[in-house]
């Protein structure tokens, strides 16, 4: 029976009180201290035969057969069968057993053995109630036909991630792999002499990437502020202060679309390296990403969205202008801004409507590239040498003034990052940012602290951003960004 007012099962609440009446605390304070995990039991089952063990986990299955009960204990994704015979239990434990429900957390003690069918089983001689579940958890029931009656709705599983973690070993393993990926990233950059720092999430300036921010208010300062869209400008200030190799892994926030590769809140890594340029940063990507694949998958070859990929270096270098020249038979460096509308009409599926009315030459170039070239990219590719007017923080290309030294690594049809030879001329940086402001629907204050730091001197540098969620998607073969975020933004019915 389910109580609609409290949201809890009335029958489970009755059992909770019955345990208390027996003198059993359903939520004890004293730690149980298991001596081994279920996974370790299975890995060493033969050596542990006959030994008395202490384990803890969630009760996920129960089969009562008179004086004998078989049960399933789930511990960190691994299951162990329990054998409980009432004559082996104390009178109190036997009474407590009758008051247990699926989802309850237990501590159990007893010797390990194998059943006649060979299943590793713990013969329970003592049980401890560690936490009573007041509401049924939809873990599903196991039969010869498989698991059924489990929660399967993707939206609910995203909102109730604890259910997916408990019920689906693949979901749990994906987040374990995410941890390993982050650990390996930190190991690589620490080996390379980088310093990890933390910069503010809240700021009073809109700077970094070109994206719509989230607004908020700081009551103590009576001031409007923004959640950061990128740590870029603050990390460059650290570079100006003399830490020559710096990185940060943290949350960014962009008030934009939600789809298979976008979430308003996401994890980004950015690193900046003095006396470097974008060519050197390509080498970093070609070293880091295959290393991550080897650490997590044991190989650089994988399958993503049903297609094979090989992350091994070297990766393809694809200049934007060269790719479009081959595709449309036109050198866009010879096209003036005023003529781009005509080029779009002839070459873009949507014509000039593909870009806003106030679009620049670079907006037109990138619209063509995204429509005509990007859909064809699958193997690791550095899309490089972008138009200057869509890259305000990037150094001009040393060989072509209408372009900049920038690349975007593309893998499996996704952009996984962005990298530059960083602009370090303070006056040009001011002019570029001011020009970017003029083209926005909403105008925000320039980041004067960043400009002041650059004016005091910023070394030449290469800088890169890596989308952590997307690289985890790739390495765990997850179809959506929601699958690699523990708690993605999910609204009712989505």
- The DSSP annotation for 111-149 comes to EEEE-TT--EEEEESEEEEEE--SS-----EEETTEEES
Question: Rounded to whole angstroms, how far apart are CA atoms 407 and 400?
Answer: 15
329 Rama sector, left if φ>0, alpha if ψ -120 to 50, beta otherwise = left
Confidence of residue 147 (pLDDT cuts 50, 70, 90): very low
Tens digit of pLDDT for each residue in 287-331?
Answer: 999 999 999 999 999 999 999 999 999 999 999 999 999 999 999
Lowest mean pLDDT among 2-6, 11-15, 405-409: 2-6
Tell which residue, 254, 261, 184, 246, has the closest CA to residue 226: 254
Tens digit of pLDDT for each residue in 151-195?
Answer: 566 667 777 888 888 878 889 999 999 999 999 999 999 999 999
- The average confidence (pLDDT) of the chain is 91
More confident residue, 138 or 123: 123
Does 170-315+379-484 carry CATH code 3.30.930.10?
A: yes
More confident residue, 386 or 165: 386
Sheet containing strand 202-203, edge to edge, reads 202-203, 223-227, 214-218
Q: What residues does each domain of the chain span?
A: 10-137, 170-315+379-484
CATH topology of domain 10-137: OB fold (Dihydrolipoamide Acetyltransferase, E2P) (2.40.50)
Q: pTM for the full model?
A: 0.90
pLDDT score for 210: 72
Mean pLDDT value across residues 128-140: 88
Question: Rounded to whole angstroms, how far apart are CA atoms 345 and 275?
Answer: 43
Mean pLDDT value across residues 185-208: 91
DSSP, res 199: -
Tell which residue, 468, 466, 470, 323, has the closest CA to residue 384: 323
Q: Where are the alpha helices (DSSP H) in 51-90?
A: none
Count of beta carbons in the 10 Å neighbourhood of residue 241: 11
What are the backbone angles phi and psi of residue 239, rounded to the nearest 5°?
-60, -45
Residue 149 reports pLDDT greater than 50: no
48 to 26, 80, 108, 189, 486: CA distances (angstroms) = 30, 14, 16, 41, 35
């Amino acid at each position: 029976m389910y109580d609609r007012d409290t949201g809890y099962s009335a029958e489970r609440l009755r059992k909770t009180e019955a345990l208390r009446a027996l003198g059993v605390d359903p939520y004890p304070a004293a730690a149980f201290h298991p001596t081994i995990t279920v996974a370790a039991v299975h890995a060493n089952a033969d050596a542990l035969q006959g030994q008395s063990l202490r384990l803890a986990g969630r009760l996920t299955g129960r089969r009562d057969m008179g004086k004998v009960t078989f049960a399933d204990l789930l511990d960190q994704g691994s299951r162990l069968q329990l054998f409980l015979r009432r004559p082996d239990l104390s009178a109190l434990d036997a009474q407590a057993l009758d008051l247990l429900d699926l989802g309850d957390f237990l501590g159990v003690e007893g010797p390990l053995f194998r059943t006649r069918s060979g299943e590793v089983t713990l013969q329970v001689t003592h049980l401890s109630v560690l936490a009573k579940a007041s509401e049924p958890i939809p873990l599903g029931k196991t039969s010869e036909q498989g698991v059924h009656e489990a929660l399967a709705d993707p939206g609910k599983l995203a909102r109730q991630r604890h259910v997916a973690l408990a019920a689906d070993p693949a979901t749990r393993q994906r987040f374990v792999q995410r941890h390993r990926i982050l650990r390996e990233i930190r190991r690589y950059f620490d080996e390379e002499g980088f310093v990890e720092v933390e910069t503010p999430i809240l700021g009073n300036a809109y700077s970094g990437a070109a994206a719509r921010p989230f607004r908020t208010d700081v009551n103590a300062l009576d001031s409007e502020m923004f959640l950061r869209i990128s740590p870029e400008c603050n990390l460059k200030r650290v570079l100006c202060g003399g830490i020559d190799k710096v990185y940060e892994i943290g949350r960014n926030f962009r008030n934009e679309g939600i789809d298979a590769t976008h979430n308003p809140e996401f994890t980004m890594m950015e690193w900046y390296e003095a006396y470097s340029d974008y060519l050197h940063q390509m080498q970093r990507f070609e070293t880091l990403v295959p290393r991550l694949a080897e650490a997590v998958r044991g190989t650089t070859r994988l399958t993503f969205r049903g297609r094979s990929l090989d992350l091994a270096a070297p990766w393809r270098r694809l200049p934007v202008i060269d790719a479009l020249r081959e595709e449309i038979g036109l050198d866009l460096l010879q096209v003036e801004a005023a003529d781009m509308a005509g080029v779009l009409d002839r070459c873009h599926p949507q014509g000039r409507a593909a870009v806003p009315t106030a679009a620049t030459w670079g907006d037109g170039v990138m619209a063509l590239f995204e429509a005509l070239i990007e859909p064809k990219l699958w193997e690791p590719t550095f899309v490089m040498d972008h138009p200057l007017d869509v890259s305000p923080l990037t150094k001009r290309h040393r060989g072509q003034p209408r372009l900049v030294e920038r690349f975007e690594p593309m893998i499996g049809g996704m952009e996984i990052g962005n990298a530059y030879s960083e602009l370090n001329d303070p006056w040009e940086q001011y002019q570029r940012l001011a020009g970017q402001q003029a083209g926005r629907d909403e105008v925000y204050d320039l980041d004067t602290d960043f400009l002041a730091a650059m004016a005091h001197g910023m070394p030449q540098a290469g800088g890169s951003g890596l989308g952590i969620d997307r690289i985890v998607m790739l390495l765990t073969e997850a179809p959506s960004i929601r699958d690699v975020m523990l708690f993605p933004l999910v609204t009712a019915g989505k």
